[in-house]
Chain A
Amino acid sequence: MLDLDWNLLLEIDWVEIGGATLDTLTMLGVSMLFTVLAGLPLGVLLFISAPGQLRARPRLYAVLSFLVNVLRSLPFVILLIVLMPFTLLLVGTSIGVAGAIVPLVVGAVPFFARLVENVLREVDRGVIEASQSMGARLSHIVFKVLLPESLPGLIGAATVTAVALVGYTAMSGVIGGGGLGDLAIRYGYQRFQTEIMIVTVVLLLALVQGLQSAGDSLVRRCRFD
């Protein structure tokens, strides 16, 4: 059994935990925003350029698909380090919360884009064909058919990505990104302050639960029946 001294809770630096929570939420919020902004178009591009699809470009698709796979196969910790020069160039720093957001986005975009591609594949081909028969242009099909018809699936994909991002943020401590996960590693794991680790884990759990419930309720609200 763990020998826990809950009196330590009184000594926990709640300000530090509060700051770490804020860091996590900042990293999550900002990186999620950019992930959707970049991942959604990339997912649409993957979908329409795939062989046999609306604008089949097999070679472009093969290149994009390979890049997505490369980024998805790199462990996030390695991505953090590898991207440091790029991050520095982009945001002026390669450390801290700001420095963590770039690798978070780079890690999550391919993941989200692939999910988007799969969600779009579920759209009834007959509906796309019907739109074409009515003279719809590609932009019509994307904005009036594909995205609205797959909205519940897209929200689901965003939820899964956000939860994955919570996991990624835990590793951002490597470059001084901070956040709850970092706190759990530094105090809980490296300094054996199990209590702090438990508190942070409970907070992370609450965050993940909250994200999932919010996502699920949005999906319920926009289902089509």
Chain B
Amino acid sequence: MIEVQSISKHYQHGGKSIAALDNVSLQIASGEIYGIIGRSGAGKSTLIRCLNLLERPDSGHVSLHGEDITRLDERALQQRRQRIGMVFQHFNLLRSRTVAANVRFPLELAGGQSPAQMDARVDELLALVGLQDHKHKRPSQLSGGQKQRVGIARALANHPDLLLCDEATSALDPETTDAILALLADINRQLGLTIVLITHDMRVIRQLCDSVAVLDHGRVVEQGKVLDVFLAPQHAVTQSLLAETGMGQGALQGIWRQRVATPVIKLTFVGEPTLQPVLDKVGREVGLRVNLLSGTLSEIKDTPFGQLLAGVVASDVDVSALPAIFAREGVRCEVL
């Protein structure tokens, strides 16, 4: 369990004090993938750096598995950091070292291992990220995706109990992004490793995360399970982040709202019902005929979900009775 207890961080800028983080609290369960999303300048970069104290909060505490790291002295903190992996947007590999030597670097810092042990561990890690064949190359000879794999191998070297990802896929093309996200999911499953990531991309959250916190102007404006936040975003920032990535659902905007004269229902399918002909079944039962306005079918992490917006053209029962009827089929229905 990782607990962030009301941390704040201010920067001085031109004589004014600007809050990068304003009383932020988070609880991150062990073994989960926790996403922090926000626009640039929302404070997410500062927040993730508070988790290994690359940035020290002005107030508040950060505890990792019950240990308050804000109380550690410098030496103890350095030791603790050896077991907190971090992956960076721009990879931050040492140009002067080969791939293998880059992965070996944190092992050298930690000490206590013979060269043979370190080499064995490096081979193990390179196999894990699929870079055995590039062992002796320099970072400059690798593609972006390969560099990030080196970054991930390096971050895992000292058997961390927490992996921090600082916009790990933001510098990569979409295909490579998918591959890196798959690798992170794999690592999370295989090693049971807790991962905290920051991103500005809702797709990353949807594909990878179990829980999410939405950050805006240094404050957490919404947090919860990804499924809940995606299906029922409460805060305007969350809604607009979803809308920008084409994942905003269930709102009939502006002019369309006025042009549709019939009552509108929103159906939300999560899990098994997504794959069943629920609308057809209910339609036959209660004589419901609809005009489909919009629909999505997608997946959040490994859970399929769908949403439909439909105008009710005809129905044997009153529209207000529909939610209860759909609920029997495991589908949420809201009358808009």
A148 in contact (CB, < 8 A): yes
Q: How does the 8 Å CB contact mask read for B243-268 relative to A, with 1 for contact and 0 for none?
A: 00000000000000000000000000
Residue pair A224, B90 in contact (C-beta under 8 Å): no
Q: How many A-B residue pairs have CB under 8 A?
A: 66
From B77, B82, B93, B138, contact of A134 by CB (8 A): B82
Residue pair A225, B96 in contact (C-beta under 8 Å): no
Identify which of residues 148-199 in chain A touch chain B, using a CB-to-CB cut-off of 8 Å. 148-149, 151
Residue pair B84, A133 in contact (C-beta under 8 Å): yes
From A131, A140, A224, contact of B95 by CB (8 A): A224
Residue pair B96, A136 in contact (C-beta under 8 Å): no
Residue pair A135, B88 in contact (C-beta under 8 Å): no
Identify which of residues 168-214 in chain B touch chain A, using a CB-to-CB cut-off of 8 Å. none
Q: How large is the interface on A (under 10, 10 to 19, 20 to 34, 35 or more residues)?
A: 20 to 34
Q: Which residues in B have their C-beta under 8 angstroms from that of A129? A: 54, 88, 92
From B82, B90, B138, B140, contact of A126 by CB (8 A): B90
Residue pair A133, B52 in contact (C-beta under 8 Å): yes
From B52, B86, B106, B138, contact of A224 by CB (8 A): B138
Give the Cβ gap from B46 to chain A, nearest Cβ, in Å: 13
From A133, A135, A148, A225, contact of B94 by CB (8 A): A148
Q: How does the 8 Å CB contact mask read for B82-125 relative to A, with 1 for contact and 0 for none?
A: 10101010101111110000000110111000000000000000
A132 in contact (CB, < 8 A): yes
From B52, B78, B138, B158, contact of A137 by CB (8 A): B78
B80 in contact (CB, < 8 A): yes
From B82, B93, B96, B140, contact of A135 by CB (8 A): B82
B303 in contact (CB, < 8 A): no
Give the Cβ gap from A107 to chain B, nearest Cβ, in Å: 31
From B81, B88, B138, B164, contact of A225 by CB (8 A): B138
Q: Which residues in B have their C-beta under 8 angstroms from that of A134? A: 81-82, 86, 105-106, 109, 154, 158
Give the Cβ gap from B108 to chain A, nearest Cβ, in Å: 7
